[in-house]
Structure formats: structure tokens, C-alpha cells
Amino acid sequence: MEKPTIRFKGYTEDWEQRKLGDISSLITKGSTPKDKSGTGEVNFIKVENINDFSGDIVSMSKISLEEHQGYLKRSQLQEGDILFSIAGTLGRVTSVNKAILPANTNQALSIIRLKEGNLEYVKTCLKGNVVADFIRRNPTIGAQPNLSLEQVSNLEIEIPSEAEQEKIGLYFSNLDNLITLHHHKLFIINGLKLFTVIQCKYYSLLNILIKNKNTKEAKLMPELERVIEEKLIDQLVYGDSQWTYREDLKTEEDLWRNFKYILEQNNKDRLNGESLSDCIIEMGKFQTKV
């Protein structure tokens, strides 16, 4: 293949076109658990548990250890496995970190276990035009959005040297993290805007009722306030914002401590067991005020 025109300085080697199956030791998928209670000791990952924006794995259900080691044995996940959605929603990508193990998955996610190639680089490729290009060459897939394991194996990846893969993978991984941080910031701002709108409506109504403080409606103000608070929580938790309501987070410092914990959990490999310094968190606080 032709050399790319935009590259990191110092890299001039040719890139090689490889099939995903050629650089993987395993490409398989899971199945639907027999026990659908969602309880057990083992995390069970479905497509909807993978955040389409950040790739984070959240809100997993559970399966039993017995099923994990028996009926679903072939889809036991290992650290570094790539999960790639192949049914319904195509091309959603994440990788398995040690913190969520033991874990398993269903038939809508393919499990890609690399034997060569940089993990972050291959994930970056799968997030790109790989699936779109494959569908364009195979138009019948578009009518029924599913990929077989054979088709996943035949997806073509452009492979540079190991050193250049690492450079590109790290660059896009850092870029994804930066975008996610800004997304969280926007998330908070939109939540505050929503609260402000509700609060303004509340106080407008309050002013009207104060003028008629002896009316039946005025006596219902405490109940009205409770309803407004519940509506706000419902919107943040179940509406477009999709927040998770946490009763234990009551102050701004609580929020920052929780944010620090999330960052550390999602970046264990990069931090090598170390905690984020208070200086980094203070820089984050400063940036959100700019």
C-alpha cells in the first residue's frame, strides 16, 4: 500500500495491509446466559454497557461462576481483549481491563485477542473507517447490520512498524481521554443549565404564590418543591443526560473525589498502580472554571 502522507517525524517505513484474523490468536463471541436473573459473581458485558462516546464499560449485569466456567467457557474474557460489536450497533469498541475480571459477554460482541500489534492502535483502527469500508465493499450487510466472525477476521488493518503503532495508539488514546474530559465538563454545564431553568420556573411560581400566601396552592409549596427536585433527578438519571444519581455525593469536593476515582480506575495500566496527584486534580478544577 502507499505510504501515508501525514506521519510522525522520523518514520518512513512502508505500511502493510493485514487481515485482523492474521494478527489475532482468537476471534470468537459469547452467548446468551441460560440464567437471565442478572445475578452472580461474574460481570457480564453487553453492547449497551459500552459507552459509545468514551468506550467505558459501565452498569454490567452478572452471571454465575458456574455458567462462566461451563456453558459460557469459550467467551471468558482476559485482560487486553478487544470487544467489538457485531450485531445491531456495529463497530462499538472497547478493551478489557483487569479491574472488571472475571467477566464474560454475549453474541453481540466479538472477542478479539491479539497475538501481535499494539492494542491502542488496533482499537483506533476499528473505531475508524474499517467497518464502513467493509460494508461499502459488501453492500448486502447494510440491510441487516450483523457481522459474522469470519467477516470480522477479514477486516483489513493498515499496519506500520511496532514503534509507529505505539506512537499513533498513544496519541489517539490521549485524544480520546481529552475529548471525554471535555464531554464530562459539558455534561455538568448542561445539567446546571437544566437546573437553572427549573429553578427559574420554581421561583416565578413562588413569587405568584407569595402574593396569595393564604391560598390552598401556597400551602402546597413544600410538596411542589419536592416534585420539582424529583423531576430534575429523573431527567438527569433517565433522560438524555443519563446521569447516575448518587446520594453519597453531596458537595463539590465529593464530586471531585469521585471524578479522581473514576479517572484512576479507567487508567490503571497507565498509572502503574499510582494515584493521580492532587496537583493534577487542582489543574482540572481550574480548567472547569475557565
Question: pTM of this prediction?
Answer: 0.61
Burial of 170 per CB tally in 10 Å (0-12, 13-18, 19+): middle
Low-confidence ranges of the chain (pLDDT < 50): 209, 240-242, 287-290
What separation in angstroms does the CA of 157 have from each of 17, 18, 63, 165?
6, 5, 34, 12
Cβ neighbours around 278 below 10 Å, total: 9
Determine the Cα–Cα distance for residues 92 and 105; give it in Å rounded to an integer.
14
Given this model, what pLDDT does residue 258 score? 76
Given this model, what pLDDT does residue 112 score? 97
Given this model, what pLDDT does residue 242 score? 47
Given this model, what pLDDT does residue 257 score? 77
Give the number of C-alpha atoms closer than 13 A to the C-alpha of residue 40, restricted to the C-beta side.
Answer: 22
Given this model, what pLDDT does residue 94 score? 94
